[in-house]
Structure formats: structure tokens, C-alpha cells
Amino acid sequence: MPDTPSLADIAATARVVSLPMATRFRGVTVREALLFEGPQGWSEFSPFAEYDDDEASVWLRAAIDFAWMPQPAARRDEIPVNATVPAVAADEVPVVLARFDGCRTAKVKVAERGQSLADDVTRVAAVRRALGPEGRVRLDANGGWNVDEAEHAIRALEPYDLEYVEQPCARVDELADIRARMHDLDVPIAADESVRKAEDPLAVARAGAADILVVKAAPLGGLSRALEVVAAAGLPAVVSSALDTSVGLGMGLALAAALPELDYDCGLGTSSLFLADVTAQPLRPEGGVIAVRRVQPDAALLARHEASDDRRDWWMSRLARCHALIAG
């Protein structure tokens, strides 16, 4: 990236928003994000609150790049997306899926802390019933199982015809182990945290520990870096979001549009999990796809969903610390 814009340049347009969610997701009921505008348009800085400044600064680098620099050329103008089913009770599944218009693929959260494998089985069964035999069901454990737990769980859930299982275990060596144990089942293993939170995002590919990469633009430092990782890994990729507003989802859509190949539906329909957004035309699936475009926030919605003064101060302080790290 060329010279980093000054903190003052970023802060001049910075707005901090707080958006309510329809369903608790990863323990989050309200999603906060810092938005700002650059020469190329609006961008989003929204690493989760628990991330330290070193990790969050990578997200800021990506946000600045998207706001200040031209992006790689798009190869497609719409992206097929999946529904995302949080760790809800089975009877809530139809309500969640109804928010994702036309989506025939569903990513189902499993291995939620405080829940059991029986909870996962009933949830996945409900998703399969709702989608029917032609729908695609993928799981996301967020590294919540050890290898033995993962093997037991995948074998229990495999009868529901799984497209793949995302991050069943936390470590790369564990992913390699569970992938080897699954040799008798046709259940691919996808890596997410082992890519976006790793010092070396290519380690998982070199270790033969995954069949698919799940990539997010912001945690990898922007579109160009994410494209480099996918190319070097030599594995099919799924582009996903991190509970972004529609501004941030625009970055994910741009990444998915720029990939040379896109064999899987992407996890970019998560605006459907929100009760509000920063635009009157949020990036939500229609007929199972989302058109590739950047979002211009609505001034009235920015004002309506503006975060409290103390939360704005918290985010602006975080912005300043992370900016110092990348500028230095």
C-alpha cells in the first residue's frame, strides 16, 4: 500500500454505528463498526472487540486499502451466497432461513459452548428438512472440537449429506489429523481461523490439512493479499464475512468477484441477520445471489444507529492505536 493516509484524514469522516441483530450470533446481539470514506468510497473497520491491536491493525490496513486504492477487476457481477444459521434451537431454523431469500446452501453453526452434540444434530436435521434433498448443508465449528470430538460429531452429522465441515478443530495439525480420519467419508474439511488468524495463512495448505480455504478480506489485509493467499494455496476458496455492515460486505463481494474461480456459494449474506443496516438498500440475497456493488451509507441511518459517546470514544481510540502501528 502507498503512504498511509493520516489519522486526521480517516477521522474526518469516521462514524461509529451500533446495529441490532435479529438473532444472537457468536455471543453478539449488537454489532458495532467504524465506517469512513476515502477517495474510492466508504469502507469499514470492525474487528471484534476482543481482538488485540496487532490483529485489529490488519483489518484497518484492509479498510484503508478499500477506501483509498483501486481494487482488482471483477470477473463476475453477482455472487451466489449461503444462508447462515446460528446455534439456535431446531424450531427456530425455518424463521432464520426465511431471512435468506432463495438461498439453497446453509452454513450451520455447531460446537457452540454450552450446547451438546444432540443440539447440533437436531439443528442440522431441521436445516436439511427445510432445504430438502437438493439443498447444500455445510457446518462451521469455529475450532470448537478436539480431534476425537470432531470425528464423533462428523460421523453423527454426516447422514445429513454435508457439503463440508469448516474449522472442526483449532490447530493445523488437528485439521490434518481429522482430515486423515475422514478418509472413508466424502466430507471435505475447510479452514477459516487457520487462515485468517494465522501468522502464516499458507501453513494449512502446505500441511495438507484442508480441502477448501475460507477467506475474509479484512482479516487478511485486503483484496490483493487475500487473492495472493488463495493463488499460493492452490485450493478452492469460499469468501465469507465477519458480521459486517453492508459497507464491509461490499469488500467481501469485491473479493469474491475478483477470484479466478468461484466453485462454492459464499458466506456474504449475513446482513440478513441484522435488524438494521446503514443503507436503505442493504446487501442481502435476492434469489440466492447478491449483486456486486459498493454501498454509500444513508446519512439518516448513520445518525439513527450512531453508537453512544463512550463507544465512539472507544473505537476512535482503537483507530488511533492501530493507525500508529501501520503508519510506523
- Strands 136-140 and 162-166, sheet pairing: parallel
309 annotated to a ligand binding site: no
| C-alpha cell recorded at residue 195 | 487462515
Say which of 31, 99, 107, 109 is annotated catalytic.
109
134 annotated to a ligand binding site: no
Say which of 31, 99, 179, 216 is annotated catalytic.
216
- Burial (0-12, 13-18, 19+ Cβ within 10 Å), 22: middle
Between CA 209 and CA 165 the distance in angstroms is 12
166 annotated to a ligand binding site: yes
Catalytic, 197? Answer no
**What are the distances in angstroms from CA 215 to CA 160, 161, 206, 253?**
25, 23, 16, 12
**What are the distances in angstroms from CA 206 to CA 168, 225, 301?**
18, 18, 45
Would you say 18 and 307 are in contact if contact means Cβ atoms under 8 Å apart? yes
- Side chain identity at residue 305, one-letter code: H
DSSP 237-286: EEEB-SS--HHHHHHHHHHHHHSS---S-BB--GGGGBS--SSSS----B
CB atoms within 10 A of CB 92: 14
**What are the distances in angstroms from CA 279 to CA 75, 270, 274?**
25, 15, 12
Residues facing 28 on adjacent strands: 25
Would you say 108 and 85 are in contact if contact means Cβ atoms under 8 Å apart? yes
Residues facing 36 on adjacent strands: 43
Binding residues for Mg(2+) are 140, 166, 192
Binding residues are 140, 166, 192
Report, as residue numbers or ranges, the catalytic residues. Answer: 109, 216
